[in-house]
Amino acid sequence: MSTEAAIEPPPAGGHVPSIATSTLLRSTREAALKTPSIRWCDDPQVGSSSSVLVDSRETRKMNTYQAVRDAMSIALNKDETAVVFGEDVAFGGVFRCTMGLAEEFGRERVFNTPLTEQGIAGFGIGLAAMGQTAIAEIQFSDYIYPAFDQLVNEAAKLRYRSGGQYNVGGLTIRTPTMAVGHGGLYHSQSPEGFFLGAAGLKIVIPRSPIQAKGLLLASIRDPNPVIFMEPKILYRSAIEQVPLDDYELPLSQAEILTSGSDLTILTYGTPVYTCETAIHHLSQPPPSLDALIPQSVRSASVELIDLRTILPWDVDTVVKSVQKTGRLLIVHEAGRTGGVAGEIATEIQKRCFLRLEAPVHRVTGWDTPVALQYEKFYIPDAVRVLDGIIKALTY
């Protein structure tokens, strides 16, 4: 895809201004059906994108929560063992991701649990250990820590410790994540980095409705326990034409969103759009920033990559990109120390040492909690990403 189309400057006060107008979002049926690496699950030729089958497919405009709901509806329809549960999911969920599912599939399959995150995770592990499909919800990723023991000691290790005799591949934990503008300490966190050391788990973060549906269906059907983190600010703001059929997008595969030759930006979730805005400002700075952007970097060609799967992550795509560009900037909302960027930077430094023309740069949240009134200065917004780009390019 290309970002050449004009992007509007951010509205006053908007901290993720480009979502509504992003060219990364697929607003036409044709574009939606051509989503890279899409795999139609009702296609007799697995992985085929033959035009006959594609031409007859329909799409519908959906935001992210509707796409998540659509994925769960397909999972429940096609798999009798699948159940959806968590706090407040029966009435539709606090973010509406499970709207109407209880009415459609019955309270035996879509039900509320008592307010206990460790219980929700443990209950899901039990279901999955019996070969059933458990789609659990943790209401905010900030509240996943009571389930940390169940996820890290139990779900992640169950296949290994039982010599492969048992597994909890049927378990998927969905949880809203990242900042939302006013979430403060406990409705804003990005805890993905805490799970990096939990070998046996997969962690997936989508950036859009099409991605959410395809990656969620792939997560539900993956033979491993998956934590699926949904950037909550995108639930309503990111809107795409989404294919109505059953399709998946591959896990552990990053996606190159814009191709470039001077700098690689690697990110995931909400900051995908921040980076898009920053790249735009680089070549066409708004008047207020004009004096601050050196002429020498304005024509730089930036490669933007959405990592999508955090664990196990797609090292090949990132290495290939950095071998080409020689520069890497990693952007995530979570704090810097112990964050995902540190892990990736180390691997890239090892693999691309001779090609690197600048240190790997990290633009991340600060090593503080996400403070309510300070959020705009906490998150890696467009100007911070832009500054990172300039530093990486001018090193």
4 classed as catalytic? no
Orientation angle between helical segments 64-78 and 209-221, nearest 10 degrees: 30
Distances (CA, A) of 125 to 57, 151, 171, 292, 333: 36, 9, 7, 53, 29
Residue 222 lies near another protein (rule: CB under 8 A): yes
21 exposure class (CB count in 10 Å sphere: 0-12, 13-18, 19+) = middle
CB 78 within 8 A of CB 42: no
Q: Which of 25, 67, 41, 26 is nearest to 218 (CA)?
A: 41
Of 142-150, 181-189, 275-283, 372-380, the segment contacting another protein by CB under 8 A is 142-150
Exactly one of 161, 296, 337, 372 binds another protein (CB under 8 A); that residue is: 161
276 is catalytic: no
Is 154 one of the binding residues for another protein (CB under 8 A)? yes
246 is a contact residue toward another protein (CB under 8 A): no
Q: Cβ of residue 152: shortest distance to another protein, in angstroms?
A: 10
> Which of 87, 117, 154, 303 is labelled catalytic?
117
Residue in 187, 280, 281, 332 annotated catalytic: 187
Q: Does 124 bind another protein (CB under 8 A)?
A: yes
Range in contact with another protein (rule: CB under 8 A) among 199-207, 253-261, 282-290, 354-362 = 199-207
Do 33 and 65 meet the contact criterion of CB atoms below 8 Å apart? no
Which CB atom, from 233 or from 348, has the smaller least distance to another protein? Answer: 348
Complete DSSP assignment for 129-142: HTT--EEEE-S-GG
Give the DSSP H or E segment for 267.
strand 263-267
Q: How far is the CB of 301 from another protein (least distance, A)?
A: 28
- Is the bond into 294 cis (omega within 30 degrees of 0)? no
Q: Which of 28, 37, 162, 337 binds another protein (CB under 8 A)?
A: 162
Among 132, 253, 259, 283, binds another protein (CB under 8 A): 132
Q: Residue 295: what are its φ and ψ, rounded to 5°?
A: -60, -35
Residues lying near another protein in the complex (CB under 8 A) are found at 81, 83, 85, 108, 111, 113-114, 116, 118-119, 121-132, 134, 146, 149-150, 153-154, 157-167, 169, 199-200, 202, 222-224, 252, 312, 315-316
